[in-house]
Amino acid sequence: MQRIDISHNSRLMGPLPEFPINNTLEVMSLTNASFSGSILASIAYLNNLVELDLSYNNFNGLIPTFHRSGVPNFASLDLSWNQLSGSILASIANLSNLVKLDLTGNNFKGSIPLFHRSGVPNLALLICH
């Protein structure tokens, strides 16, 4: 399976499942569902993933840390309109293929890292208000 789109299903709720290490997902859209809890660190196992949209859910806590080894190939990452908190981690800067990042409508504190100086040369759109 390469694509999952279960958007606009408000009856889908609860935490995200753990993601297996060897998966082939490229696109996952869970926008406007009722998922909650933290965004699991196993999201880093989505190595083939080009697009991840978790917007308009009830996720809380911190953005998981993306390490340089084994980071997903995200081109688009949308975490908007959740209840995420803490600082916008510089580990997002490890997502070197990132073109679009939307963090709107969360509870982040602190400053926004200088992505263009830290390994995200293709970031063309950053939305964070």
All domains of the chain, ordered by start, with CATH? 3-127 (3.80.10.10)
> What pTM does this model have?
0.89
Please name every residue paired with 5 in a beta bridge, in sequence order, or none if there are none.
29
pLDDT score for 115: 66
For the stretch 23-60, pLDDT in tens is: 888 999 999 999 999 988 788 778 788 999 999 999 99
Reference 36, options 64, 57, 12; nearest CA is 57
pLDDT score for 116: 60
The 3-class secondary structure across 43-92, one letter per residue, is HHHCCCCCEEECCCCEEEECCCCCCCCCCCCCCEEECCCCEEEECCCHHH
- The CA-based angle 30-36-39, given to 5 degrees, is 75
